[in-house]
């Protein structure tokens, strides 16, 4: 048994603040009445109660006690944490433990407002909701019962948004929604542009559901059909590339809409007999059938490292030798405990509506994923934007999937297969493999969880090596923030061991300035310790694809772009995600949501004219990238302010992009990153929000709309 209760819970000061603010039990006056250790004991003890439902009754008490201790050791080691609702609600009156849900929206007033009511109940309990509005008749269509005309999907999305706005979740998680519309819907253009003013539908992420036929039409610059969902008849035709250009132009503007590749999602649908998947949860990593929920958990892979290595231990040295390695044996021991924990959560959950309980227990989907991947790369001395990192990501997720599947199979032999198994892809007519859970793996957002675990989020690169967290810690001055500088622990260890650590360096990094500006930092360190905005978008996409290849559900990730990126760059990334086998894509361009809460777009501002020739060139480069010899895929998304090749060296302060040791460094803004990217302030503490793992996250207080 690899999991052991630590002598002392290793929590950072910020982790303790986040736990106190968002998870620890409080009395009626808001005073904290629970310690972090008691929280983890509460969660472990509550989830382990499910063990009493299986096996001999006279051994139930012993089984429960045994698994409570193993679960407690697991979570206090910070090697694994379940999703936020489980941490916050297990063993408390609410007992709603799932993070994400999908609700049906059929083409009737009763169905629409049933979904609004169910949404309110889910948001109140701490969950997020996803919807496909594709079944609603288009605006202007006939309503036979009244003789009137339909208002269309976008108008009803505003109703859901207003309901979400009215519900607050105790300051822990505000309601989050995902709206998806099929690209063949006649109202697709209204949907694509609905968030262009950046103040409409602020409680929604939106994504366009595209199929292979549409993407082929984009590549060929052909037309495609719009279909009225009420009649199934063709309602018009559009030039596919023109629609695609509207999608990427709006994404360039503010990150919405993303794309969801539904054909690919349904190719992996384990229970097609129950229906076609049409929607995902708010951050896109969990495709679900109507009324399904999924409970998620994440392995902190940075804590599965063996060997001392020279990266942090050497006093000097010209390089960062990779003497460390992943502790594969320890990982193999822990994964079955995680799978068992998540399966137990399904039984202990109190679901917000009966239909969700029935559907969830029919398929028993779980989603085990990762966090701390960038820290793992730092530990091993591997640059994020390298083929070696892609190879490790591929191997790591394949390993997790293999052992999660084996653990689910063992549970099936112990407890029985999931009820919908017989006609599923795993039943006698398919793989004929007994499994307890219809899906086992998901890479979910870990914004708050990664703060508690003290690691980087999900599979994202580090957002910064040092940054300032803002807390309201002093009860004598509750409205005055305390500013605390936080440094990535792996970087700090290397900096001290290699002798280049200084307070001036940390202040430089915390101000949002790049590491590559510092002459005292060795070149090999600069190569390894890269951050999200120093990595070309194609590396982000390829890393997402590497993990997706071995993930049952999907992968939550943000593809980061510098402020100077063009619409053609975004188009290339969207097409690359499709070509690489991703199930969806979300992007964010630095500064593109600056001041969105305060004002509308000024008259005359907004998206620049679409350069159709540049978009066509970008798409052809992606489509033909296999034929480009001697040029790594990362080079094939040029990020150019106003055009031109970005792969040039910086001389005499030139702010253009350049390549160093096969790495793209984006054009530097005139101001440090932290100053130019004034995205929406955190509604809880006022600190800056960042886009990571397909989600808004506050790295100061843990606020997030997901994870």
CA distances from 427 to 230, 361, 410, 423, 435 (A): 34, 17, 16, 6, 9
CA distance 427 to 411: 16
Q: Are 235 and 228 in contact (CB under 8 A)?
A: yes
Q: Are 569 and 537 in contact (CB under 8 A)?
A: yes
CA distance 446 to 81: 9
Dihedral of CA 561/562/567/569: which sign?
A: negative
CA distance 119 to 127: 9
Q: Which helix (H) or strand (E) holds 77?
A: none
Q: Look at the block and give the residue holding tokens 């360039």.
A: 252
**Minimal CA–CA distance to 513: which of 560, 447, 454, 468?**
468
CA distance 511 to 695: 23
Q: What angle do CA 204, 152, 167 make, to 5 degrees?
A: 35
Q: Look at the block and give the residue holding tokens 């499910």.
A: 50
Q: Are 566 and 643 in contact (CB under 8 A)?
A: yes
CA distance 79 to 486: 21
**Minimal CA–CA distance to 343: which of 331, 353, 335?**
335
CA distances from 22 to 27, 345, 435, 451, 702 (A): 14, 20, 35, 12, 8
Q: Is 281 a catalytic residue?
A: yes
Range list of β-strands (E), 144-250: 148-149, 177-182, 204-210, 223-227, 234-239
Q: Are 204 and 177 in contact (CB under 8 A)?
A: yes
The count of other CB atoms within 10 Å of the CB of residue 624 is 10
Q: Is 59 a catalytic residue?
A: no
The catalytic residue among 89, 250, 281, 553 is: 281
The catalytic residue among 219, 245, 285, 379 is: 285
Which three-class secondary structure state does DSSP give residue 393? helix
The count of other CB atoms within 10 Å of the CB of residue 168 is 14
The count of other CB atoms within 10 Å of the CB of residue 134 is 23
Which three-class secondary structure state does DSSP give residue 407? helix
Q: Is 285 a catalytic residue?
A: yes
Q: Are 105 and 135 in contact (CB under 8 A)?
A: yes
The catalytic residue among 283, 685, 695, 706 is: 283
Residues marked as catalytic: 281, 283, 285
């Amino acid at each position: 048994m690899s999991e052991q209760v630590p002598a002392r819970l290793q929590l950072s000061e910020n982790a303790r603040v986040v736990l106190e603010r968002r998870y620890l039990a409080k009395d009626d006056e808001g005073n904290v009445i629970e310690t972090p250790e008691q929280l983890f004991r509460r969660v472990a003890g509550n989830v382990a109660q499910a063990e009493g439902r299986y096996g001999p009754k006279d051994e139930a008490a012993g089984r429960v006690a045994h698994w409570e201790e193993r679960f407690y050791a697991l979570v206090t080691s910070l090697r694994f944490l379940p999703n936020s609702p489980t941490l916050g609600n297990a063993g408390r009156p609410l007992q709603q433990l799932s993070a994400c849900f999908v609700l049906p929206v059929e083409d009737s007033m009763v169905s629409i407002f049933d979904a609004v009511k169910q949404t309110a109940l889910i948001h109140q309990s701490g969950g997020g909701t996803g919807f496909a509005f594709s079944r609603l008749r288009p605006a202007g269509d006939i309503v036979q019962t009244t003789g009137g005309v339909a208002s269309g999907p976008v108008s009803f999305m505003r109703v859901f948004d207003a309901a979400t706005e009215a519900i607050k979740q105790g300051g822990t998680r505000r309601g989050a929604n995902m709206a998806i519309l099929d690209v063949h819907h006649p109202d697709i253009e209204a949907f694509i542009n609905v968030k262009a003013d950046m103040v409409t539908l602020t409680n929604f992420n939106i994504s366009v559901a595209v199929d292979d036929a549409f993407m082929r039409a984009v590549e060929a610059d052909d037309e495609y059909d719009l279909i009225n969902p009420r009649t199934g008849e063709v309602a018009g035709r559009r030039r596919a590339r023109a629609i695609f250009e509207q999608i990427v132009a709006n994404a360039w503007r503010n990150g919405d809409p993303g794309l969801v590749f539904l054909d690919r999602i349904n190719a992996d649908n384990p229970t097609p007999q129950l229906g076609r998947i049409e929607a995902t949860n708010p951050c896109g990593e969990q495709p679900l059938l109507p009324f399904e929920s999924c409970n998620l958990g994440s392995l902190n892979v940075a804590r599965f490292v063996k060997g001392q290595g020279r990266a942090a231990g050497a006093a000097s040295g010209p390089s960062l030798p990779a003497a460390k390695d992943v502790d594969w044996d320890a990982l193999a021991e822990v994964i079955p405990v995680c799978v068992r924990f998540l399966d137990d959560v399904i039984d202990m959950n109190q679901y917000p509506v009966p239909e969700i309980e029935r559907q969830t227990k029919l398929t028993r989907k779980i989603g085990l994923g990762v966090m701390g991947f960038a820290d793992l790369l730092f530990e091993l001395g591997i640059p994020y934007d390298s083929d070696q990192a892609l190879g490790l990501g591929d191997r790591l997720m394949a390993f997790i999937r293999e052992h999660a599947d084996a653990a689910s199979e063992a549970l099936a032999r112990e407890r029985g297969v999931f009820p919908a198994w017989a006609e599923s892809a795993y039943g006698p007519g398919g793989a004929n493999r007994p499994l307890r859970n219809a899906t086992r793996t998901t890479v979910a957002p870990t914004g708050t969880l990664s703060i508690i675990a003290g690691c980087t989020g999900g599979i994202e690169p580090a957002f910064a090596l040092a940054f300032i967290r803002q807390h309201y810690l002093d009860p004598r001055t509750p409205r005055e923030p305390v500013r605390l500088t936080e440094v990535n622990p792996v970087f700090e260890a290397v900096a001290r061991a290699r002798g280049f650590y200084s307070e001036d360096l940390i202040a430089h990094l915390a101000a949002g300035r790049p590491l590559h500006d510092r002459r005292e930092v060795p070149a090999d360190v600069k190569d390894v310790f890269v951050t999200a905005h120093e990595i070309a978008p194609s590396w982000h996409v390829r890393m997402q694809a590497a993990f997706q290849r071995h993930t049952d559900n999907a992968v939550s990730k943000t593809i980061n772009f510098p402020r100077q990126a063009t619409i053609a760059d975004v188009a290339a990334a969207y097409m690359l995600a499709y070509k690489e086998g991703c199930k969806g894509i979300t992007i964010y361009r630095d500064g593109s949501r600056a001041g969105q809460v305060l004002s509308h777009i000024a008259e005359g501002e907004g998206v620049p004219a679409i350069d159709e020739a540049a978009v066509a060139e970008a798409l052809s480069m992606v489509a033909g990238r296999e034929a480009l010899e001697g040029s790594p895929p990362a080079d094939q998304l040029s990020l150019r302010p106003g055009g031109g090749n970005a792969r040039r060296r910086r001389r005499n302060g030139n702010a253009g992009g350049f390549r160093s040791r096969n790495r793209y460094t984006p054009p530097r803004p005139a101001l440090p990153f932290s100053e130019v990217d004034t995205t929406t302030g955190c509604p809880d503490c006022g600190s800056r929000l960042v886009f990571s793992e397909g989600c808004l996250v506050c790295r100061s207080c843990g606020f997030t709309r997901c994870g």
